Amino acid sequence: MTRRRKKAARVILGPVGNGGAGFAEAADNATMKNRERQSLTTRQFAESLGVSESSVKRWIDDGVIAADRTAGGHRRIPMAAAVRFTRQHRMSPQRPEAMPLSTVPSLGAVDSEAADECYEALLSDDAERVRAIIMGRYISGADIATIGDGLVRPALGRLGELWKHDSQGILVEHRAVDTCIRAMNDLVAWLPSRPSGAPVSITAAGPGDPYLLPPMLASMTLQEQGSDARNLGPLTPIETIGLAAERYGAFMCSLSVSTVQDRKRHAEWTRLADRLEVTRTRLVVGGRCVESLPTEILVRARVCGSMIELGSYAAGIVQGVGSRHRSLDGRKP
Ligand code: B12
């Protein structure tokens, strides 16, 4: 571990922590807003990671872990800093009994084990388990795109094979989507904060496309790559997508296509592509039914096969776009 310049810990006032619960318990027992405000004692964090408390104290004093101090002078590690540290240093929690999240397999190339586990948890409507699995992957170092492609997509894909949409299937699918959305939402607070003037991107699914997760995952992926990502969600009129690109001065528009596109809309899609050219907004398209877009759009757009591909494409251009893109009304996005 590299040592860094010693930083003075900020002094915080008032009650902190959660009364002796471990890292995982702290993560499990509260809403995200509370969780953001929570912090861990050095002992709690040390126990979760399976390291000595003196190591944790030393890392804090060396400025490797950002920490606060209570009025009484005790070190406290905000949850966000604990997550950031664990991810940065690729540390896996060592104490399953102290941290249920660590029962998730650590980061590896194949995610089928986690996806199967997630599928079982979705099937039994165990939202807490799903959240622990998704959060565990994130804490272990997986990025949003990897979680989307390697975990959420296969878990939901298996669910979709079960009933072929009888009423029981629809119930399970609606619950599963809601559970995944909540779990992903919990990660938003831990994404890198967007720098001021970050280039704006918009994400959406078009008319007739009710699928919530694809545009949401695309939005989070773009945010993780340093963009100020604004999600319009599913069922967005094509006209509205063009309007948003203009209003935000978006450098990128990412469209998810999960339902077969009606040929009657082909002219509308072409008009959107023309409009995006005027605003110099790059059009990226992807999703299960992307091939149903008019050929002209497929030729003019960047077609991406996965969230991982979207993430690497965006990463390559976000830096270069910089502050050239401001919203048209002159305010910083
Ligand atoms: C949940 C679900 C629903 C829910 C949706 C809830 C909601 N509001 O989101 C409900 C119950 C509403 C539903 C309805 C229907 N569904 Co449905 N559904 C699913 C299910 C189980 C999961 C979909 C999902 O969210 N997956 C998770 C996301 C993250 O995965 P993904 O979409 O594959 O996205 C990934 C990639 O495609 C890519 N990606 C996506 N977008 C983008 C964008 C960009 C820019 C990039 C780069 C990449 C990218 O990255 C993502 C992460 O890897 C799928 C099963 C499956 N195999 O997907 C069936 C499935 C899609 N549904 C299906 C069907 C048939 C239907 C219905 C027609 C059923 C009916 N008879 O009514 C309706 C159609 C609704 C409509 N209006 O069109 C079929 C489609 C078959 C086909 N050939 O197209 C599937 C495959 C199930 C099956 N095995 O038969 N469904």
Q: What is the pLDDT along the chain (333 residues), one digit of tens a residue?
A: 443 433 433 333 223 333 333 444 444 444 444 444 467 888 888 887 778 888 889 889 988 888 888 888 899 888 778 877 777 776 655 543 343 333 333 333 347 889 999 999 999 999 999 999 999 899 888 999 999 999 999 999 989 888 776 778 889 999 999 999 999 999 998 888 777 889 999 999 999 999 999 999 999 999 999 999 999 999 999 999 999 999 999 999 999 999 999 999 999 999 999 999 999 999 999 999 999 999 999 999 999 989 999 998 998 888 666 545 444 333 333
Structure tokens at 160: 């979709």
DSSP 106: P
CB 254 within 8 A of CB 310: yes
CB 307 within 8 A of CB 283: no
pLDDT digits (tens, 9 = 90+) for 7-37: 433 333 223 333 333 444 444 444 444 444 4
Q: Which CATH number fits domain 200-324: 1.10.1200.10, 3.40.390.30, 1.20.140.10, 3.40.50.280?
A: 3.40.50.280
Residue 256 CB less than 6 A away from ligand 1: yes
- Backbone dihedral angles phi then psi of residue 24, each to the nearest 5 degrees: -65, -40
Domains of the chain: which residue ranges? 10-88, 104-188, 200-324
Residue 140 CB less than 6 A away from ligand 1: no
Whose alpha carbon is nearest atom 9 of ligand 1?
211
CATH says 10-88 is which class?
mainly alpha
* 3-state SS assignment for residue 48: helix
Contacts (Cβ under 8 Å, ≥6 apart) of 268: 238, 239
In 3D space, the residue among 148, 161, 159, 154 whose CA is nearest the CA of residue 306 turns out to be 148
* 3-state SS assignment for residue 282: strand
Structure tokens at 64: 């490797």
pLDDT score of 117: 94
What distance in Å separates the CA atoms of residue 200 and residue 145, rounded to the nearest whole number? Answer: 18
Among 118, 134, 146, 153, say which to mutate for ligand 1: greatest number of ligand atoms within 8 Å of CB: 153
**Residue type present at position 109:** A
Whose alpha carbon is nearest atom 59 of ligand 1?
160
Residue 166 CB less than 6 A away from ligand 1: no
Secondary structure, 3-state, 108-146 = CCCCHHHHHHHHHHHHCCCHHHHHHHHHHHHHCCCCHHH
Q: Which CATH number fits domain 104-188: 1.10.1240, 2.60.120, 3.30.1490, 1.10.4030?
A: 1.10.1240
Among 241, 288, 292, say which to mutate for ligand 1: greatest number of ligand atoms within 8 Å of CB: 288
Instruction: State the pTM of this model.
Output: 0.77
CB 77 within 8 A of CB 42: yes
